[in-house]
Amino acid sequence: MNRVIFKNLGIIKFKEAWELQESLLKSIVETKKENRNNPENKKKTKSYLLFCEHPGVYTLGKSGNKDNLLLNSESLKKEGIDFFKINRGGDITYHGPGQLVVYPIFDLDNFFTDIHKYLRFLEEVVILVLKKYNLLGERLDGATGVWLGVKGGFPRKVCAMGVRASRWVTMHGLAFNVSVDLSRFGGIVPCGITDKSVTSLCVELKKEVLLEEVSVVFQKKFKEVFNIDLVDEKDF
C-alpha cells in the first residue's frame, strides 16, 4: 500500500496553490533523476494529496479557447475574480468558495503508468462520494469529469477535472461543487460545453452540506480507490 502525504490547505489563492504544486512536482522529479543516476541507493519518492478552496478564479487549460471566457478584464476586476491560463488539460472552469478542490501530486510509477486509467480512478472516487449521498454519478462519453442526470437525458456537471503529468508525476486534479455559487459559471462557457449545465451537491440534495464533511468522505474514497494510506508529512 502506498503512503501519501495529506495536506488540507484551507482557503488559499489559486496562484499560491499552483506554485506549491509545481514545487512538489519538481522535488519528486529530482528524486527520480537521482534514483536513475544512483540505482543502487534509490530513495522512495513522495506523493501528496492536497485539499483546498480557492477565492473566485477562472482557469483556462492549455488547449482551451479564450473565447469561452465571457467577461473582459474590467468585469473580472469588478467581480473580484482572478483569471489564469495554466498548464493542465481541459478548457475553462471556475473555482470558488464552497467548492472542494483536490490536487493529487502522485508519482504514477508507484501506481500505474497510464494517464487514462488515472483519470478513470479520479472519476471513480467522485462517483463513490456521490453514492454516499444517494446520487448516481456518471461518466459522459467524450467528456472528462463526473455528471448527474446522464441516463435521464439532462446531464449536469458536478465535478470538473484537468490534469498535467511530467515524468509520470501528476498535478492539478478535480473540483467538486459542494455549495459553490453556480451563477459564477455564467461568466464562462464551462469546459467549452454549451448544451449542458453545472450543478452542486447542495442543489441536488436540496439541503446544506458542509464542505468539511464532504472532505472526510473524499479522503475515505481516495484511500479505497487508490489503495493508499494518508499520512502526515512528519510520519512519512
Q: pLDDT (tens digit, 0 to 9) for every residue of the chain, 236 residues total? A: 999 999 999 999 999 999 999 999 999 999 999 998 888 888 889 999 999 999 999 999 988 899 999 999 999 999 999 999 999 988 999 999 999 999 999 999 999 999 999 999 999 999 999 999 999 999 999 888 999 999 888 999 999 999 999 999 999 999 999 999 999 999 998 877 777 799 999 999 999 999 999 999 999 999 999 999 999 988 88
β-pair type (99-105, 138-140): unpaired
What pLDDT score was predicted for residue 143? 85
Radius of gyration of the chain (CA): 18
Which structural domains are found in the chain, ordered by start? Answer: 2-235 (3.30.930.10)
Written as nine digits, the cell of 104 is 493529487
pLDDT at residue 127 in the model: 98
pLDDT (0 to 100) of residue 86: 94
pLDDT of residue 234: 86
DSSP secondary structure letter of residue 189: -
Among the listed residues 52, 159, 191, 202, the single catalytic one is 191
**Residue corresponding to grid cell 462520494:** 129
d(CA 122, CA 116): 10
* Residues in Cβ contact with 83 at an 8 Å cutoff, skipping those fewer than 6 apart: 57, 58, 59, 60, 69, 73, 76
Beta strands, E only, 55-168 = 57-60, 82-85, 92-95, 99-105, 138-140, 143-148, 156-166
The question of whether 191 is a catalytic residue gets the answer yes
**pLDDT at res. 153:** 86
What's the predicted TM-score (pTM) here?
A: 0.95
pLDDT on residue 134: 98
**Nearest-CA neighbor of 190 among 143, 233, 228, 151?**
143
Give residue 196's pLDDT: 79
Which pLDDT score, from 0 to 100, does residue 195 have? 73
Q: What is the pLDDT of residue 42?
A: 87
